[in-house]
Structure 1
Amino acid sequence: MAAPNEITVSQLLRLIGTPDAPAIVDVCIDADFGDDPYLIPGSIRHPHTDISGLISAHSGRACIIVCQKGRKLSQGVAAWLRSDGIDARYLQGGMLAWRDRAEAPRVPATTVPPRVGSGTLWVTRHRPRIDRIACPWLIRRFVDPQARVLFVAPADVEDVAERFGAVPFDVQGAFWSHRGDGCTFDTMLDEFALHTPPLDRMARIIRAADTSRQDRAPEAAGLFALSIGLSRQYRDDQHQLEAGLAIYDALFRWARDRQGETHGWPAGRGA
């Protein structure tokens, strides 16, 4: 019988990428992590010895604790957090079980920028439309839920990045930008090793909408229209980003679960 405070790889896979995903905390010891330096998407590293720090960081938020095998470290930390009133579970089988699941993506730890304060810090051009909303969505849902994005004048992106230790993206000449026929969203899927069927479906649409090749994906015209409308609706870039995240949340759920669904009239004729 499954323990009441454990979660399986299949169950966690269904949560990752959604706005209600729990915090994922990797407590693998340094030696184990050094032998296999990959992260479950959206997870953060935290030493199992710093229980008080975990309690402070996750009080009021559900979390999943992950160690190498899903045994003493993750079970002990999860049990300790639960004794403090935190909804904590451990991953059954740990990182080894996640690694053995072919469809479970793993983010190379070396690709995740160092944190500036509580999370990674990114900077791009102001007045975002498509790529500059899609990329923050991908980062927050699959790389760092605490990521902060700064929107500044195009001419000042590089200087802001240098002064504040931010990572520039979707600007010409930056590492995190367009490459060949792809857009910055494609680059991030490549570098973060996040090529999964749902995200690849999204990438096809985002690429077509962002590069004015809407004939390559019928859904791209709709995404383009929504993105332009959103940019006209909000004067504040941060407010626009928060509203735009909901669009990409919905697009992800369609790409993952319902891309084959149709809608017809009269009612009942759609699949």
Structure 2
Amino acid sequence: MKNWLTLILGLPTAQATERMRAWRALKACGAAVLRDGAYLLPDTPACREALATIERDILALNGTAYVLPVVDPDGARFTGLFDRGEDYGKLRSEIEACRGQLTADTALASTRLVRKLRKAYDQLAGIDYFPGPPRQQLDAALLELETAVSRALSADEPQGQDQPIARLDPGAYRGRTWATRQRPWVDRLACAWLIRRFIDPQARILWLEQPQDCPADALGFDFDGATFSHVGQRVSFETLQASFALQAPGLERLAALVHYLDIGGLQPVEAAGVERVLAGLRNTLSHDDHLLAAASALFDGLLAGFAQEEHAHD
């Protein structure tokens, strides 16, 4: 047996704008169309709340709206109305098209498209009430695309290693040379900022043409074989943060932002704007020291803003 909710609505024919608004709200929550003015959703708390909101909005416009329970003794009579296979297929085509056009030159532009594809996938998955293989396959394809874009944008992107993270004393890492790959992107820029801000204020940052060029006495970061790099699902920024047990107001939010911009995942609201600023800086500043200085000012501002928001919610 399966419980459902149906919304029966009616709006004056003259209120085309309100009718369109109600239709968009129903589409956003994934309602199936039974017939004109009749919509169906599974009986879940989230769907019940969504239909109650639409019902209130319609009644406020002097329309008619009834949310009624429906019981399906067989349990599967209506599930076919919620098949998202066609929608997943369209997204899959866009993912494949993006992958086919991906080069080192198009990588920055591709990151913006990938963010949109990830957002579209998350919205679709949120209304996929009966998920199956198409959802899993699309998620895997999107993860592969995100990894490919990251590697096209940043050659020699490190692989995550499964290993324990030792707790280190920042005092033993002062006045050192730290080395990473040249033409840095988000994770390397954020790591260099983190090192100078919290670990080694006098750090000398060395930009390597190739990871193999790292001097024996330098502390490498964000490349395979470096002292500090990706560990498990942590990006290099998070590895440094964990290694030195760094804690500061706003730092966790900044780490989540760097994580998303480097390897994807849950999108922070600031991500698109920060990515755009960093991409602009990278395109206009050819000297890596100058790029780091500009990016560091951005990270300082973000940390201060995040800290202020945390303080306001205490």
> Normalising by structure 1, what TM-score?
0.50
Pick the structure with greater CA Rg: 2
- Which protein has the bigger helix share? 2
